[in-house]
Amino acid sequence: MSLLDDFLIRAALAAVGVALAAAPLGCFVVWRRMAYFGDATSHAAILGVALSLALSLPIFAGALAVALIMAVAITMLSQRGHAMDTLLGVMAHSALAVGLVAVSFLDGVRIDLMAYLFGEILAVSRLDLLVIWTGAALVLALLSWRWSALLTATLNTDLAHAAGVNPAREQAVLTLALALVVAVAIKVVGVLLIAALLIIPAATARPLATTPERMAVAAAAIGALSGLAGLGLSYHYDTPAGPTIVCVAAGLFLLSTLLRGRLMTRG
């Protein structure tokens, strides 16, 4: 009997794979104050699910395509002077609403909306694992390749231009990586909780790290710990797995904040 025959082992591997992809990318989301950007992109994925089911395509392909289109659209509109927070709020909720309405028009297709909204990690298959870990590897490879340029563009656009770095190109790299994370995470935590998995581990790691690289590593570790601990608690107490994982991450964030407060008081 293979280890992968155990649904809990598959779920644990899925949680770790998503954490490794989402947490380092989440650091850039936190640094650039792009939280709502991640929200809008992930909410759009439900429309991708509807299109995939309607066209008999893999869910991953539809979610990735629509998330990428949404991210590119937001980037282009923001460059034309639209107020970013308002724009993201409108597009995030509109995309989710359109996706939910589109799903309701699918005749003869049985779909568990709760699974796509809040995740269904315990139902992860071997194929899902392959998709998740391949996506995570691509995201990590992309971030490693562009790490220095991404950091420079994040710190200061003028500094980036002086160093020969094109901020628009680095924004495109982040957009692609974000769409990939949304597509691989939809099975684990669902579209409503993806942004939480991006932001909370990175925000938790921020007070504990002294360099960007250490923050990314710490965020990945915190994300993986949240996934495994949340999965264990979910199994033990029979609670929804995706929300439980996010609750554990939120608890770790609270501990990190309290620890930072004590250290500042002592200092």
The number of CA neighbours under 13 Å toward the Cβ of 215 is 21
Tens of pLDDT, residues 31-48: 988 877 788 888 888 888
- Asked if pLDDT for residue 267 goes beyond 80, the answer is no
In a domain? residue 232: no
In a domain? residue 42: yes
- Asked if pLDDT for residue 87 goes beyond 70, the answer is yes
> Alpha carbon of 46 to those of 98, 99, 104, 148, 228: distances in Å?
9, 5, 12, 33, 25
Cα 94 to Cα 88: distance, rounded to the nearest angstrom: 10
What is the arithmetic mean of pLDDT over 235-249? 92
Using a pLDDT cut of 90, give the percent of the chain over it: 34
In a domain? residue 242: no
Res 122: pLDDT: 86
What is the arithmetic mean of pLDDT over 47-57? 84
Residue 206 DSSP class: G
Confidence of residue 208 (pLDDT cuts 50, 70, 90): confident
Measuring CA to CA, which residue among 134, 118, 124 is closest to residue 17? 134
In a domain? residue 210: no
- Asked if pLDDT for residue 163 goes beyond 90, the answer is no
What is the arithmetic mean of pLDDT over 228-252? 93
- Asked if pLDDT for residue 183 goes beyond 70, the answer is yes
Residue 47 domain boundaries: 3-192
Q: Give me the CATH number covering residue 150.
A: 1.10.3470.10
Confidence of residue 107 (pLDDT cuts 50, 70, 90): confident
In a domain? residue 158: yes
Share the mean pLDDT of the chain.
Answer: 86
Cα 190 to Cα 112: distance, rounded to the nearest angstrom: 12
What is the arithmetic mean of pLDDT over 74-84? 69
Res 254: pLDDT: 94
In a domain? residue 160: yes
In a domain? residue 36: yes
Q: Kind and range of the H or E element at 44?
A: helix 35-55
Cα 185 to Cα 182: distance, rounded to the nearest angstrom: 5
Tens of pLDDT, residues 111-143: 777 888 888 888 898 989 998 999 999 999 999
- Asked if pLDDT for residue 10 goes beyond 80, the answer is yes
Confidence of residue 27 (pLDDT cuts 50, 70, 90): very high
Give the number of domains in the chain: 1
Confidence of residue 55 (pLDDT cuts 50, 70, 90): confident
Res 230: pLDDT: 95
In a domain? residue 263: no
Measuring CA to CA, which residue among 196, 206, 208 is closest to residue 247? 196
